[in-house]
Each structure stands twice: as C-alpha cells, then as structure tokens.
Amino acid sequence: MSDKISFLPLEVLLSILAYLPFESLLAFGETSRANFTSHALCLRRLRVGVFEKRVHSMISLLQAGWATPDQLSSSRENDGSRSDYTISVIQPGIYAQQGFDGKPHAKCKLQRKRDISPQDAQEQTVQAQNKVLARLVDRYGPSLVKLEFMAYDLDVDGAKALGTRCRNALRYLALRFEHPHIRDGPMRPTAWYYPAPGSTAWNLLAGIGNPKNIGLTGLETLILERSGITPWQLAMLVTKNPRLRVLKLRTCRGAQPEFLDWLGAFKRIKTVQ
C-alpha cells in the first residue's frame, strides 16, 4: 500500500498525510527513504510539551488551548485532521520518580541521588526537556513553519537545534515556560511568577557571536512566556528577523523600559503585548 502511495504526486500525498494521527505519520515515514522525506515535509506545524507528570501535561495543554477535555479523555490530542500536531512527552524527573512516602524507591539508581539539590534537579529536568526538543527539531526542523514548545526553560542544546535546523523556514515560534499549576517537583511554586534565569542559550537563538551561520531569521510571530532572554538579546533577535510583525511577551526578562523604548522605533512590529 505504501509503495502505491509513494507514486502519487507530492501535493496529493501531502494532502493525504495531513489527515493521519501523529503515530501513523511516523509509521509511514519508517517504510522507506522516500516516505521518510514525505512525512517530514508534511509535519510543518508542531506543538511539543515535555513535563514530569501526565497531570502537569494535561493541565498545560488545556490552559494553552492545545486540546479539549474530550480530546484528552479519548487520547485524540495528536489527531492530524487539524493543522497542528501536538506531542505530549512525559519525562519523569528526580522528584517525580519518588515513592508516595516522598522517598526514592529502593533498589533504584535514584537512591544514590536522594540528596540532590532542587537546583541540580531543576537543571537536569531542563536538560532532559531540551534533549527531546533537539531530537525533534534535528529531524523535522527544516520543514517546520510553526513551533510551540512548553517546558521549564530553554538551554544551549534546544537553542542550538532551533538556531541551526529552523533558521530560515520557521515563521511562528512560541516558547511557553510559565506553568503556575505545577507546585511539586524541583521548581519552587513562586518561581513561575518571575522570569527564568538569564542564559547564553539565547545568543544561539538570536545568532549572536560564534559559531557563525546560526540563529533564526524568518520569524513573523514570536511569543515568549517566562523567558530569561535579556533586553539586548531580545533586541538582537528582533533585528535579525526583519519579517517579525507580532511580538508577545509575558513575564519576560527582556521586557524592560530600555527595550520597549528601543522597540518603539520599529514601526514594522504591528502587535506588541
């Protein structure tokens, strides 16, 4: 069946693949090299959420409007009949893998890490989340025009993957790191109400410094929630994307008076929130 489909005109094939659930689309891409290329071209709009617990993921998906209660209850959040594919990844962290008594399970590697600090656990969680993002972007980045990512923060691995694999084609980017409903795990409950720590990872996203040939340049819409990007990094990111028209910032470190004054001279930005 897949061999017959492969001979269809590409426009017809992509129209058919657009109706497949994400799991079926992946399975189709594994049948041959040609079908892998076709399935990658079909995946142009992707929503990715990486959390430590399923309940965290479900609430975040509902709050972001990525899924309805009916879709979650029937496991249809990855339905390809809509234009956006939604992937929910559960990546248990150090805290999430503890027993009901709050202690790590016996005979488990976590036993050696029972004294890990919340800061170290948070860093490990962010690294694990960004590794998931990097793997997806390495595979599908060149064909993506819209990407939304929900996690705790952006690190160097995630930013490098975005800045290299999505450099020219990506038009819509939303990085959502604000999840106040998560009150267990390594994150302090109050941390959600403040910007994430500053990081050089944003330099890679904005194409600042070395290495060369990195950084997003084709964005038309940028949404940042609880991001640690500085005013200067944000200004550079806006400058490097001349087609940017919509900029939405919430709990963003870069939303300082000096940046807003600088942005006032950019008449090409039609929507600022």
Segment among 79-83, 194-198, 240-244 with least mean pLDDT:
79-83
Structure tokens given for 138: 């390495």
- The secondary structure of residue 265, as a DSSP letter, is T
Q: How much is the pLDDT for 228?
A: 97
Structure tokens given for 102: 């709050």
Q: Does residue 110 register a pLDDT over 50?
A: no
Confidence band, pLDDT 50/70/90 cuts, at residue 108: very low
Q: Does residue 111 register a pLDDT over 50?
A: no
Q: How much is the pLDDT for 142?
A: 94
Q: Does residue 99 register a pLDDT over 60?
A: no
User: Looking at beta carbons, which pairs linking 52-58 to residues 24 or more positions away fall under 8 Å?
Assistant: 52/90, 52/91, 52/92, 52/93, 52/95, 52/96, 52/125, 52/185, 53/90, 53/92, 53/96, 53/185, 54/88, 54/90, 56/179, 56/181, 56/182, 57/88, 57/89, 57/90
Please give the average per-residue pLDDT across 52-67, as a whole number.
82
What percentage of the chain reaches a pLDDT higher than 70?
84
Q: How much is the pLDDT for 114?
A: 56
Q: In this predicted model, what pLDDT tens digit does every residue of 60-70 receive, in sequence order? A: 888 877 777 77
Q: Does residue 96 register a pLDDT over 70?
A: no
The greatest distance separating any two alpha carbons of the chain, rounded to the nearest whole angstrom, comes to 61
Domains and CATH numbers, the chain: 1-42 (1.20.1280.50), 43-94+115-271 (no CATH)
pTM equals: 0.85
Segment among 17-26, 133-142, 228-237, 256-265 with least mean pLDDT:
17-26
Confidence band, pLDDT 50/70/90 cuts, at residue 95: low
CA-CA distance, 236 to 55, in Å (whole number)?
Answer: 37
Q: Does residue 38 register a pLDDT over 70?
A: yes
